[in-house]
Amino acid sequence: MKKLKALMAKVDWPNQLFNLLGTLLGVLIAFGLSNYQSGRAEQERLFMAKNSIIEEIQRNQNKTKEHLEGLKYTMETLRAIYPIVNDTMDIVATQAQMDSIHSKYPNFFQEDERLVLESGLINFKGEINVDFNMLDISDIAWQSITSLGLAAQMNPDDTFFMFQIYHFQGQAKDEAQKAVEVLKTAISKQDKNSNLKELIFNEYLSQVQFCSKFEEALLGLYKEALERFEAS
């Protein structure tokens, strides 16, 4: 028992306690630094995610604007030529009427031949150019952020709003695809004595008009999204 007391007496308890506190303090500092670095890395990932979303929306916004301009041109062209197109999509008009439309829409018609009618009108035979480009917008950034779980770490209101935007943009692409299908149907029937005028000017034009409304609404959502991110 005396040996034990003697041994304990030799221990420098103040110094040991100081070393212990120093070790604990070092661990706490290291743990805090690790949390800080982890939090900072998380913030950096969220910052990068936010920037990728902004860049994708800006690209989609520009492509939608360009596509919408094409839709408007198509609608204006079809409305302009409607009075001079017959049921088989031949153009029957005066030369003056044809020249007037050509001055506004120079690429709308590719003439193959013409027949002068007794009434003084001309039957212009050829191809009416009704082009329709696909709406080439992307959701790659959003899908990547969602799959990595970063969307769940964003502001809930922003996350829900982004979900709405990308869901709506998917619908806009679907509506554009429907217009393409209507146009394909019209092209497939052009040699079968079908009423092409009704198909083009009713079904196709109606679908193009619907697409344009959809894309105008989508541009409004893009604008609001960019304003949200700029304000945050």
Strand residue runs (E) in the chain: 91-93, 109-116, 122-128
pLDDT of residue 143: 85
For 155, list phi and psi in degrees, rounded to 5: -55, 125
pLDDT of residue 140: 86
Structure-derived torsion over alpha carbons of residues 215, 216, 220, 221, reported in degrees to the nearest 10: -20
pTM: 0.75
Query: Residue 56's CB: how many other CB atoms inside 10 A?
Result: 19
pLDDT of residue 218: 96
For 61, list phi and psi in degrees, rounded to 5: -60, -45
CA dist 227 to 66, 95, 143, 214, Å?
21, 51, 21, 20
Residue ranges of domains in the chain: 51-83+130-231
The one-digit pLDDT tens for each residue of the chain (232 residues) are 444 444 444 445 555 554 444 444 454 445 444 444 445 656 677 777 788 888 889 999 999 999 999 899 888 988 888 888 887 778 899 999 989 988 888 888 888 888 898 788 999 888 887 767 788 898 888 888 887 777 777 788 888 888 999 999 999 999 998 888 887 777 776 655 557 777 778 888 889 999 999 999 999 999 999 998 877 6
Q: Are 95 and 84 in contact (CB under 8 A)?
A: no
Q: Estimate the crossing angle of helix 13-81 against helix 95-104, to 10 degrees.
A: 170
